[in-house]
Structure 1
Amino acid sequence: MRQKALDLIQSGVTNAEVARRLSVPAGTVGYWLHQERTRRGSLPGKPNRPCPRCDGRPLNEAAYSYLLALYLGDGHIIQYSQHRVPSLMITCGDNWPGLMDSCEAAMKAVFPDNSVCRVRRTGCHNVKVYSKHLPCVFPQHGPGKKHERTIALEPWQQRIVDAHPWGFIRGLVHSDGCRITNWTTRMVGGERKRYEYPRYFFTNKSEDLLRLCGETLDRVGVEWKVTRRGTNPYNISIARRDSVALMDAHIGPKC
């Protein structure tokens, strides 16, 4: 019966029609065909998708600088046993749909040959892409939490961040940062008055990532300082008027 099914398929009969004629499940017919193609080495396959690191494919460096920062802040790479290739997932809150759009656009620009999807979760979406070259493109991937291991850029990554610093800063702010309105009070003419002013924060438990953020801010002329929780650095704060104006010109609030 198996051979009869293969002969019918070879003559041009569809799998569904073969299953109907022989009174066997359509899945069985498909499995027989798969076995035969495996035996003959004629399984259809997806074309090899080149890697910017392994094969020298051109890389959209501006998009990569932004995506790298998103990955370091809110992303992770994982490979489940049932999947042949790893996936990159970056979690984006539903309160900022524009940020989610920017993440998806950057992912498509960095991986133009791969499909990008959004997976719904409570209050957020995971923007996701599969690629066997993810460890090549993001060599910071490794076991354990990022803030508990060393995070250092490869020379080729540092070159990209140096060339596109605002993309990297924007990704850091979009992942683990914010723009808020601070306030304080002062005595003016014997009367206490309230003053409000904008301020940027970048918050992360990784001292390496705080260092990378500070170095990149230095490169674009933004003044900043570190605030601590106890003895541990915790926040990068940007409050000086000129620096906030520079951040507003290139970053702005999340949307």
Structure 2
Amino acid sequence: MYPRATVDLALRLSNLGVPDQQNALICGVSVKAIRHWRRGDRRDARGTRRRKRDCPRCDGRDLATASYAYLLGLYLGDGHIARCRKEVFRLDIYCSDDWPGLIKAAADVMAAVLPGHSIGSRQRSGCTVVFALSKHMPCLFPQHGPGMKHTRDIELMAWQREIVDQYTQEFVRGLIQSDGCRSINRVRRPLKDGDRWYEYPRYTFCNESVDIRRLFTDALDRLGIAWKRMNRKTISVARRDAVARLDEFVGPKY
């Protein structure tokens, strides 16, 4: 048997996309061993093969449900899943560089939902892409499919609806922090003695997908938060009590 440190290093490199042959050279093991470990065929202390319990849907592993509700919101708002190898998928969450706190939050929530997986990031123009790799991304996010999300139906599975119903605030926070914002709206009111300006905070959520906008407004309805349709693809929350309610668990990006 190989030392545990060697196995863990090989799995980290594999999760980062290092080819099996190169991984084997780095770790000083056979390609066959790399493939066994990557498939979860590691042996226990008695030499008996055991399959790694990696997926809450396939293997019954515990799922950090509150973190998952937030990550689901991030994915539906500004996320993407792509196949990067034959059996491995990559979840990307795009985060503006203006909000370093959001970048850290995305990495932290991925680590909570996907323990044992390598979490990474790569730089793009004006944004940082936080990513994780797993064979089971389509299991965790069955909304994955060909093309952009607004070109296909987006419906939550029954088990996802249970999580979103229980952790609606986390789900709404993920949606707003990915595809929405809190801002100050300035309004000019012309009067006889001159223009008068007044300001008020509001939240907006903008998404091309009719289904994702409906998931957002349904969640607001469950929380008792008033909203209005601002235009074809934008939802506005501007009433003072509604903004105060969102401030309790969302707040400005940071």
The answer, yes or no, to whether TM exceeds 0.5 is yes
1:56 counterpart residue number: 60
Deviation for aligned residue 1:54: 0.8
How far, CA to CA, are the matches of 1:89 and 1:187 in structure 2? 47
How far, CA to CA, are the matches of 2:150 and 2:138 in structure 1? 18
For residue 253 of structure 2, what is the amino acid of its counterpart? Answer: K
For residue 45 of structure 1, what is the amino acid of its counterpart? Answer: W
For structure 1, the 5+ residue unaligned runs are 1-26
1:146 counterpart residue number: 149
Q: Secondary structure at the match of 2:233?
A: strand
How far, CA to CA, are the matches of 1:179 and 1:136 in structure 2? 32
User: Do the aligned partners of 2:53 and 2:60 also contact (CA within 8 Å) in 1?
Assistant: no
User: Do the aligned partners of 2:67 and 2:109 also contact (CA within 8 Å) in 1?
Assistant: yes
Deviation for aligned residue 1:42: 9.4
Indicate the structure (1 or 2) with the bigger Cα radius of gyration: 1
1:220 counterpart residue number: 223
How far, CA to CA, are the matches of 1:178 and 1:184 in structure 2? 18
User: Do the aligned partners of 2:89 and 2:135 also contact (CA within 8 Å) in 1?
Assistant: yes
1:77 counterpart residue number: 81
Task: Pick which of 44-53 and 64-73 moved more.
Answer: 44-53
Match 1:194 to one of 183, 191, 197: 197
Identity %: 47
What aligned pairs does 1:10-89 form with structure 2 within 5 A after superposition? 34=30, 38=32, 45-46=37-38, 47=40, 48-81=52-85, 84-89=87-92
For each residue in 1:178-220, what CA deviation from the matched residue of structure 2 results, as whole angstroms up to 9, or x when unmatched? 1111122346795542110001100011000010000000111
Q: Please, what is the CA RMSD of the aligned residues?
A: 2.4
User: Do the aligned partners of 2:57 and 2:140 also contact (CA within 8 Å) in 1?
Assistant: yes
State the TM-score, normalizing by the size of structure 2.
0.80
User: Does residue 1:254 correspond to 2:253, yes or no?
Assistant: yes
Q: Secondary structure at the match of 1:104?
A: helix
Deviation for aligned residue 1:56: 1.1
For structure 2, the 5+ residue unaligned runs are 1-21, 41-51
Runs ≥4 residues deviating over 6 A: none
1:171 counterpart residue number: 174
User: Do the aligned partners of 1:49 and 1:113 also contact (CA within 8 Å) in 2?
Assistant: no
